[in-house]
Chain A
Amino acid sequence: MRTSSRDFTLRRARTLDGALAVLRDDPGTVPLAGCTDVYVALQFGQRPGSRYLDLTPLKALRRITERDGNLVIGALATYTDLQRSRLVRSRLPMLVEASRLVGGMQIQNRGTVGGNLANGSPAGDTLPVFAAAEAQVVLQSTQGERRVPFTSFYTGYRASVRRPDELITAVEVPAVDARQWFRKVGTRAAQAISKVVFAGVRASTPRLALGSVGPTVVRLSRTERVLGSGGSLETAIDELKLEISPIDDLRSTADYRREVAANLVREFWARTA
């Protein structure tokens, strides 16, 4: 590891209240879950912080349950947990598909939903799923709990409304009563960071979201409006191209992302018809 751990401190959370108190008293503290983002950053010589708080002893945050018609996914649920969960399989198959395509088995065994959301990479594979499913992010601090609609959670590139004294404790997903479709484009079939990632729900007003085509995950509200009001697919695609702002980077090109994003919307529309 390129960053030495010597001058770091680590505390292990014993209770949720205790963890929240640590964050209140020292908001610079960096939470640790599966460490599949944090330890990569450390390996690359970055320093996400110097004081860390291990959340993994908080087993209650790993649960996946149903409450008031919502699917409630604890922040510490891993990709393997999601694939094994009967609830997720029956209610949100597109999340199972997304989880199956994360990294490889070793990453799926450790990486968590909360980590994916908090890390906030625009390539995070669960983000379009939650955006299309109209999920809410549950945030908790010593001052209490609040729910933020997923579509207003991110404020910019890897920036969100989460305050440093707050933890993500869960994601709540309302019932999805329409066909779901997920597609990740990473070129390599496993261990791939998405070049473009799509999730869609074919409700009467369809809900579409794309990752890796802008600084944050994009919910395609204008494209949705065209499709929902009976406009033609190609008019919708014209809107789509105005809604996304892909860039060239080491992994792919803006042109490619734009073209494939449009193709994915066409494919979604054909497959869920």
Chain B
Amino acid sequence: MRTRFTLNGEPRELETHPMRRLLDVLREDCGLTGTKEGCGEGECGACTVLVDGEPVVSCLVPVAQAEGCELLTIEGLGGDHPLQRSMMTEVGAQCGICTPGVVLAAKALVDAPRKPTLARVREALAGNLCRCTGYEAIHRAVLAAHAERHAK
């Protein structure tokens, strides 16, 4: 089946089985290996990508359901989003498996003008398991990135 979507701003069209996981299509067909597979069962959030701006776990999305959608993967952030920088300075990543998913799941909080409370940050990231950091550095990174992004 032919599937069309916009991937990190570029229109894409590819021929693939419609039930393949979006995760596999991104990694194998599109060569974008920034999206990680932690569990394949929707639990860990490592495979999080944005579909029409909303975070979803790409291990549970048949590629057919991405038809006509705007997809954003970690590669689409380009490496210079304030949250990517603050994840470095706050050491929000240790082994790094959860990191691309965490960044995409938290991006909306960082981009929105309203300063998120710590409780809001925790809620937004509840679907992203991290075994290494204990989350504290991730929370600091999100709040720091928000402050930087909206500094007058």
A159 proximal to B (CB < 8 A):
no
How many chain-B residues does the 8 Å CB contact rule pick out? 32
Q: Are A56 and B42 in contact (CB under 8 A)?
A: no
Kindly identify, within residues 29 to 52 of chain A, every residue whose CB is under 8 Å from any CB belonging to chain B: 32, 34-36, 39-40, 43-44, 52
B48 proximal to A (CB < 8 A):
yes
Q: A35-B60, A40-B42, A56-B65 are in contact. Are A8 and B19 (CB under 8 A)?
A: yes
Q: Are B127 and A52 in contact (CB under 8 A)?
A: no
Interface mask (A242-273 → B, CB under 8 Å = 1, otherwise 0): 00000000000000000000000000000000
Q: Are B126 and A189 in contact (CB under 8 A)?
A: yes
- When distances are taken between beta carbons in the complex, the residues of chain B under 8 Å from A6 are 17
B17 nearest in chain A by CB position: A5
- When distances are taken between beta carbons in the complex, the residues of chain B under 8 Å from A175 are none
In the assembled complex, the Cα of A31 lies from the Cα of B78 at a distance in Å of 37
A54 proximal to B (CB < 8 A):
yes
Q: Are A12 and B64 in contact (CB under 8 A)?
A: yes
Expressed in whole angstroms, the minimum distance between the Cβ of A46 and any Cβ of chain B is: 12
**CB-contact partner of A110 in B19, B21, B56, B129, under 8 A:** B56
Q: Are B65 and A54 in contact (CB under 8 A)?
A: yes
B110 proximal to A (CB < 8 A):
no
Q: Are B57 and A106 in contact (CB under 8 A)?
A: yes
Interface mask (A11-35 → B, CB under 8 Å = 1, otherwise 0): 0100000000000000000001011
A231 proximal to B (CB < 8 A):
no
Kindly identify, within residues 61 to 77 of chain B, every residue whose CB is under 8 Å from any CB belonging to chain A: 61-62, 64-65, 67
B45 proximal to A (CB < 8 A):
yes
A78 nearest in chain B by CB position: B54
Q: Are B60 and A110 in contact (CB under 8 A)?
A: yes
Interface mask (B29-57 → A, CB under 8 Å = 1, otherwise 0): 00000000000111101001000001111
In the assembled complex, the Cα of A12 lies from the Cα of B56 at a distance in Å of 20
Q: A40-B41, A80-B54, A106-B48 are in contact. Are A35 and B124 (CB under 8 A)?
A: no
B60 nearest in chain A by CB position: A39
- When distances are taken between beta carbons in the complex, the residues of chain A under 8 Å from B40 are 1-2, 43
- When distances are taken between beta carbons in the complex, the residues of chain A under 8 Å from B64 are 10, 12, 54
B40 nearest in chain A by CB position: A43
Q: Are B126 and A5 in contact (CB under 8 A)?
A: no
Q: Are A105 and B41 in contact (CB under 8 A)?
A: no
**CB-contact partner of B127 in A5, A43, A105, under 8 A:** A105
Q: Are A104 and B127 in contact (CB under 8 A)?
A: yes
- State the main secondary structure of chain A at its contact with B: loop
In the assembled complex, the Cα of A103 lies from the Cα of B54 at a distance in Å of 15
How big is the A interface, by class? Answer: 20 to 34
A191 proximal to B (CB < 8 A):
yes
Q: Are B21 and A1 in contact (CB under 8 A)?
A: yes
Q: Are B60 and A40 in contact (CB under 8 A)?
A: yes
In the assembled complex, the Cα of A106 lies from the Cα of B47 at a distance in Å of 10
Expressed in whole angstroms, the minimum distance between the Cβ of A12 and any Cβ of chain B is: 6
Expressed in whole angstroms, the minimum distance between the Cβ of A53 and any Cβ of chain B is: 11
**CB-contact partner of A52 in B19, B41, B54, under 8 A:** B19
Kindly identify, within residues 187 to 208 of chain A, every residue whose CB is under 8 Å from any CB belonging to chain B: 189-191
B86 proximal to A (CB < 8 A):
no
Q: Are B43 and A109 in contact (CB under 8 A)?
A: no
Most chain B Cβ neighbours within 10 Å, of A1, A43, A56, A106: A106
24 A–B contacts from the bound complex (CB under 8 Å): A1-B59, A2-B40, A5-B20, A10-B18, A12-B18, A12-B64, A12-B67, A32-B65, A35-B62, A39-B62, A40-B41, A43-B41, A105-B105, A105-B123, A106-B55, A106-B56, A106-B57, A106-B105, A107-B127, A109-B56, A190-B126, A190-B127, A191-B43, A191-B129
Q: Which residues of B contact A (CB under 8 A)?
A: 1, 17-21, 24, 40-43, 45, 48, 54-57, 59-62, 64-65, 67, 105, 123-129
Further pairs besides A10-B18, A12-B18, A36-B60: 9, Cβ < 8 Å: A10-B64, A39-B62, A40-B60, A43-B40, A54-B62, A80-B54, A104-B125, A106-B42, A191-B126
